[in-house]
Amino acid sequence: MIFDTMMVIALCILMLAILANLYRVVKGPSGADRVQALDTIGINLIASIGVFSVLLHTHAFFDLILLIGILSFIGTVAFARFIERGVVIERKR
Amino acid sequence: MSGSGEVVGAVLILFGAVVSLISAIGVVRLPDVYTRSHAASKSSTLGVLCALVGTLLYFIITDGYFSIRLILGIFFVFLTAPVAAHVLCRSAYRNQVPLAEGTTEDELQDYYMENEKDDAGNKLNLSIEMDKGPNP
């Protein structure tokens, strides 16, 4: 019972962290700020999926941890290339 | 249900959540892109690693279930989050995002003016100013 309460408290703290990052996504003056905050939101989502699978006592969501990690990394690198060069995939010369 | 295993997992998970919250406070309060990226990449990576290791230990101790997928997820996050922050900071620097107001020295600027070239082969003309406006 106390254990479940601690897990719910951890989920609430993670949601507060996601809300703070969402403030930076809305307000951030440059594009890199917004992409960095979105990447951090993805990482916090990974942590909250881990806490949620402990709370529900199931193994079914461990694939999602790997999947969200890969998708968040690919999206961040694509946006960084877009900010830096203007294109994501360059043409062969 | 064994009590001690739950305690180890819960302490690690709570520690990870608190470190993630500290990272988010840093993202809100710090003055420019580079310091915010510093806060966001390092401490939120530590937070998610602690939370996932707590999850792994909880399932090992209570169920005897050792998850290779979770190990792969931890390893992947540990490998890629600093790389993503590095790529983003480099793109912000090359895009001339201003530094914070109190910055006294920008050593990267001299290096970039001498060595880096843009796609057409011309020398980059980087003129990054300190942020003079109202603090965002």
pLDDT tens string B67-119: 899 999 999 999 999 999 999 998 888 887 777 777 777 777 777 777 766 65
In a domain, A67, yes or no: yes
Which region among B1-5, B11-15, B47-51 has the lowest average model confidence (pLDDT)?
Answer: B1-5
In a domain, A92, yes or no: no
Which residue does chain A place closest to B35, by CA atoms? A33
A 31-60 residues with CB below 8 A of B?
A: 31-33, 35-37, 39-40, 43-44, 46-47, 50-51, 53-54, 59
The total number of structural domains in chain A stands at 1
- Tell me the two tokens of residue A22: 């969402």
Which residue does chain A place closest to B24, by CA atoms? A17
Residue with tokens 């914070």: B100
The interface pTM score, or ipTM, of the predicted complex is 0.89
Residue in B63, B77, B94, B129 to test binding to A, most A beta-carbons within 10 Å = B77
In a domain, A53, yes or no: yes
Pairwise CA distance, residues A89 & B77, whole Å: 24
Strand partners, B99: B130
Domain enclosing residue A76, as ranges: 1-85
Which alpha helices (H) appear in A2-30, and where do they start and end?
Answer: 2-27
In a domain, A77, yes or no: yes
